[in-house]
């Protein structure tokens, strides 16, 4: 859909968006309640929470919404332990992100019966998972975030509206005046008015509501000159999403779930991807992300981090290693199941109707339950048998009745058309070597004069709805440019999640937990700095001295803008 550039005041809604060229401009007078704030944040995931913290500590009044009853996004409602680089304990992330990690460790120390050795470990990893140096339970991360924000809520500086989704926006030209939100519990609506608005939703939901220009899917190589881009653009080519779940394992017991309705389909499902997937999805052989060749994985809830020399999926995202706690605390280890085998490939959550998105989520849940049932009944065991009936689904840990996460683990969002778009040539090792004409050993990621944060992770694109298999390759430690946070036209709406100015390719390394936190914190600080200086963020970026002052302001608050 082409963007609408009308400058008259207009009202955009999810219902009317497809026909907005002829829409009227109704008021928000029918809403039951209004909130006014310096900054309105739609979405309470990691980016939203970080934006709120950055704004609150600088004295701004904040309203933040959250679609579920848990703030924290990837860490909580989606259930996923953080994907981080190996230097995260000391550098390459904001001070506040490392404080989040310290608070999680302290929560365990203060509230759990740890062993003496575990309690004395300053770098406690409750799950000892392979993927992160801090694998922890979603409820603990939630408690930490809620405790952090509680003093601001008690003082009235912060209002958090749980289980609220954005439904409409009041827009005047290139400025958002208000966003209407609806309670998914009561159906009641409220109007949120602010000076600045932040889209911290998992899918960039505020962008179409406000008629902000955005991109979905993959770009053509001819448009971006990216080494790993496809030949043609495809707005519907989006990464898979996952309905995660957590299980423990009680050896000798039987906790086999009822056979899922779609089990026969998923048991026999063979992904149609390029390069080819090696066989059925529900199997321990998958496509190695880097080589593209078949690779066997291991699974043994009673084993260590490897099984017959291969990665043990049980420990990959393990969030509780019971050996670190007194024997009475946990019946067994607890592992978060977010694997290639429950990535949902058959449809998108962006660019489809609400009904279709709901159908895809329902089928993704069936896939995850089918994976669990397969593990309980058919998965090969190291002893030559089949099935691990002792695997027990843990609804309480995920805060749901069905035992699955509250929300899909989303890897790709709508992305703003930004003042500056990060391309593979800026961060990808091979592409950057080609662009510079130098060897990899001689170069680093592009240096952005307007950097407002840092990150480090491989470009990790999971198989998606467009038929691509894994696209996974090395990057350099990179920066977050301010220009990628500024829409090309809208003046007071900013992204704080996976919806920044990246491409389909580079979104693969800007989507992880610490980077999302850094994006959100930069946006919250930016709102404060802009209000105090009485300048727009666009003017700050355009003025060399203002930009330097803003970056100094960020660094004083513990934001890392450069790699040492």
CATH of the domain at 203: 3.50.50.60
Q: 148 and 58, same structural domain? A: yes
Distance CA 199, CA 197 (A): 7
**Distance separating alpha carbons of residues 208 and 12, to the nearest angstrom:** 8
Same-domain check for residues 289 and 387: yes
pLDDT value at residue 21: 28
Is-contact 402 72, C-beta < 8 A? no
Quick one: 393 and 421 in the same domain? no
For residues 281 and 372, state if they share a domain.
Answer: yes
Residues 374 and 451 in one domain: no
The pLDDT tens digits for 502-513 are: 999 999 999 999
pLDDT greater at residue 308 or residue 457: 457
- Kindly tell me if the per-residue pLDDT of 325 is higher than 90: yes
- The answer to whether residue 317 sits within a structural domain is yes
Structural domain count, the chain: 3
Model pLDDT, residue 18 = 28
Judged by phi (left if over 0) then psi (alpha if -120 to 50, else beta), residue 370 lies in alpha
Tell me what the mean pLDDT of segment 232-250 comes to. Answer: 98
Verify that 425 and 536 share a domain, yes or no: yes
- Sorting pLDDT into bands at 50, 70 and 90, what band is 50? very high
**Is there a domain that residue 239 lies in?**
no
3-state helix, strand, coil in the chain (%, to 5): 30, 25, 45
Indicate whether 228 belongs to any domain.
no
Is residue 327 in a domain? yes
Stretch 263-275: mean pLDDT:
98
Rounded to a whole number, what is the distance in angstroms from the first to the last CA of the chain? 43
pLDDT tens per residue across span 91-115: 999 999 999 999 999 999 999 999 9
Task: Determine, yes or no, domain membership for 163.
Answer: yes
CB 72 within 8 A of CB 144: no
Residue whose tokens read 């978060």: 336
Whether residue 562 is contained in a domain is answered as no
Domain limit, last residue, from 209, 228, 257: 209
Q: Distance between CA atoms of 270 and 287, rounded to whole angstroms?
A: 12
16/159 same-domain check: yes
Domain boundary among 209, 235, 267: 209
Q: What is the domain extent for residue 509?
A: 414-556
Please tell me the distance from the alpha carbon of residue 515 to that of residue 88, in angstroms, as a whole number.
Answer: 11
Look up the pTM and report it.
Answer: 0.94
Q: Could you tell me if 49 and 195 lie in one domain? A: yes
Instruction: Say yes or no: 284 and 394 in one domain.
Output: yes
Judgement on whether residues 447 and 494 belong to the same structural domain of the protein: yes
388 and 512 inside one domain: no
Same domain (yes/no): 55, 25: yes
- Does residue 534 form part of some domain? yes
Structure-token pair, residue 280: 């059925």
């Amino acid at each position: 859909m082409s963007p609408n550039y009308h400058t008259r005041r207009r009202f955009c809604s999810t219902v009317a968006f497809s026909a907005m060229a002829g829409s009227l401009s109704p008021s928000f007078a029918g809403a039951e309640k209004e909130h006014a704030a310096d900054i309105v944040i739609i979405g309470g995931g990691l980016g939203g929470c970080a934006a709120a913290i950055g704004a609150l500590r600088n004295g701004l009044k904040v309203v933040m919404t959250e679609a579920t009853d848990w703030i924290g996004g990837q860490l909580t409602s989606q259930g996923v332990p953080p994907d981080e680089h190996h230097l995260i304990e000391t550098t390459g992330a904001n001070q506040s992100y490392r404080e989040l990690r310290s608070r999680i460790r302290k929560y365990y120390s203060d509230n759990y019966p740890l062993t003496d050795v575990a309690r004395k470990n300053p770098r406690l990893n409750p799950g000892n998972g392979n993927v992160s140096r801090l694998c922890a339970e979603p409820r603990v991360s939630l408690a930490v975030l809620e405790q952090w924000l509680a003093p601001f809520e008690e003082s009235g500086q912060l209002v958090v509206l749980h289980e609220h989704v954005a439904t409409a926006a009041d827009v005047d030209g290139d400025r958002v005046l208000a966003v209407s939100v609806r309670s998914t519990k009561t159906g009641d609506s409220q109007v949120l008015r602010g000076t600045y608005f932040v889209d911290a939703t998992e899918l960039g939901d505020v962008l179409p509501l406000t008629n902000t220009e955005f991109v979905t899917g993959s770009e053509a190589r001819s448009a971006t000159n990216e080494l790993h881009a496809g030949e043609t653009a495809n707005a519907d080519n989006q990464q898979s999403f996952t309905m995660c779940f957590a299980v423990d394992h009680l050896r000798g017991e039987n906790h086999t779930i009822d056979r899922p309705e779609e089990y026969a389909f998923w048991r026999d499902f063979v992904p149609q991807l390029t390069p080819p997937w090696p066989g059925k999805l529900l199997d321990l052989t998958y496509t190695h992300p880097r080589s593209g060749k078949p690779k066997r994985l291991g699974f043994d809830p009673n084993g260590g981090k490897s099984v017959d020399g291969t990665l043990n999926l049980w420990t990959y995202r393990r969030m509780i290693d019971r050996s670190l706690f007194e024997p009475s605390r946990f019946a067994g280890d607890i592992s978060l199941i977010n694997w290639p085998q429950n990535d949902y490939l058959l449809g998108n959550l962006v660019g489809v109707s609400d009904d279709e998105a709901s159908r895809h989520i329902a089928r993704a849940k069936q896939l995850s339950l089918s994976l669990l049932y397969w593990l309980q009944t058919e998965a090969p065991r190291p002893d030559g048998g089949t099935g691990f009936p002792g695997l027990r689904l843990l609804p309480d840990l995920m805060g749901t009745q069905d035992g699955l996460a509250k929300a899909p683990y989303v890897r790709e969002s709508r992305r703003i058309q930004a003042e500056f778009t990060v391309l593979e040539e800026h961060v990808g090792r091979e592409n950057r070597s080609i662009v510079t004409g130098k060897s990899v050993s001689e170069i680093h990621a592009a240096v952005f004069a307007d950097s407002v944060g840092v990150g480090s992770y491989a470009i990790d694109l999971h198989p998606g709805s467009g038929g691509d298999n894994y696209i996974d390759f090395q990057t350099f430690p990179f920066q977050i440019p301010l220009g990628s946070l500024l829409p090309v036209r809208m003046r007071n709406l900013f992204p704080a999640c996976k919806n920044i100015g990246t491409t389909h390719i580079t979104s693969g390394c800007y989507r992880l937990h610490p980077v999302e936190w850094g994006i959100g914190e930069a946006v919250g600080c930016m709102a404060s700095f802009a209000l105090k200086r009485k300048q727009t963020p666009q003017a700050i970026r355009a003025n060399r001295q203002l930009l330097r002052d803003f970056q100094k302001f960020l660094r004083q608050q513990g934001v890392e803008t450069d790699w040492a």
